Structure 1
């Protein structure tokens, strides 16, 4: 039994549509994964820059552009992600000032030694912002 020509075109069009939808869905999932902050990658990059430092905790900003790291000796690290390039910094706790921020999830940070890092850092939760503020002010004790 042979299908009419109209059915062949319909089947081919349906298969092409399904393939296109599958490709778009996979592409969207890959973009979402790339956009999500990756603390594992941040730990590796910070470890390359400062191999002697032990990391106790890490928090990413909401956009994944910055990772704040609490180090073993009460110091604080910062890793900025700019595409495939990373910049890692290490600060003494208490050498950083916090300014008034617009909400509980945002920190207005003033780095006294690195003016180019000054700005607003927005976190996904107020708890993460609170943790980082305690690290930066040097008042986090366990």
Structure 2
């Protein structure tokens, strides 16, 4: 009987330790956008980052860049896949509260359904993705809204 109680106590302690470790891991991933900035900067050194929004699980980070473009990073374990989003290569659909379905046409980067911490974050990312495709003028330069060309 004593061995049974000891085994159950050890099993319970192991489950509690495992659950607390998972909770800490998720909090670290969700709060560490600095690593995303460094990795994206290493992949695309000429792109200046203006704003960063991570998904609720912290595995995917969307970046707003200085010239109206957008970027995306997805964690694969300890490795990151960085993607500079090109005009005409993305489709965005709302999937309910704080969720977006994003599909990349060139399949070089994995799309999917992404859940954000808030509806505001999801709306902001969708605006970045859709707003990064400014119409081009005859000279190849993006036109400013409201300006004559």
**Structure 1 residue 93, shift from structure 2 partner:** 4.7
Which residue in the other structure is 2:6 paired with? none
User: Whole-Å Cα distance in 1 between the matches of residues 29 and 109 of structure 2?
Assistant: 24
Whether the aligned pair in 1 keeps the contact of 2:49 and 2:65 (CA below 8 Å) is yes
Hey, what's the Cα distance between the residues in 1 that align with 2:63 and 2:127?
A: 12
State whether structure 2 residue 121 is matched by structure 1 residue 128.
Answer: yes
Match of 1:51 among 24, 45, 53: 45
Q: Distance in 2 between matches of 1:42 and 1:73?
A: 19
Quick one: structure 1 residues 79 and 120, their matched pair in 2 at CA, closer, same or farther if it must change by over 3 Å? same
Counterpart position of 1:79 = 73
Match of 2:130 in 1: 137
Q: For the Cα contact (< 8 Å) 2:26–2:58, is it kept in 1?
A: no
Note the 1:1-142 alignment, pairs <5 A: 28=21, 30-31=24-25, 33-101=27-95, 103-114=96-107, 117-138=110-131
- Output one character per residue of 1:36-85: Cα deviation in whole Å (capped at 9) or x when no partner: 34111100000000011000111000001100001111111001112211
Which residues of structure 2 form unaligned runs of 5+?
Answer: 1-12, 135-143
Tell which deviates more after alignment, 48-57 or 27-36.
Answer: 27-36
Call closer, same or farther: CA 1:127–1:93 in 2, change over 3 Å. farther
Gap regions ≥5 residues in structure 1? 1-19
Residues 112-140 of structure 1, C-alpha deviation per residue, up to 9 Å, x if partnerless? 11265121000000000000000111269
SS at match of 2:125: helix
- Take 2:28 and 2:50, find their aligned partners in 1: how far apart are those partners? 25
TM-score by length of 1: 0.71
Equivalents in 2 of 1:93, 1:59: separation in Å?
20
Q: How many positions carry a matched residue from both structures?
A: 117
Q: Indicate if the aligned counterparts of 1:93 and 1:138 stay in contact, CA closer than 8 A.
A: no
Question: Aligned Cα RMSD in Å?
Answer: 2.6
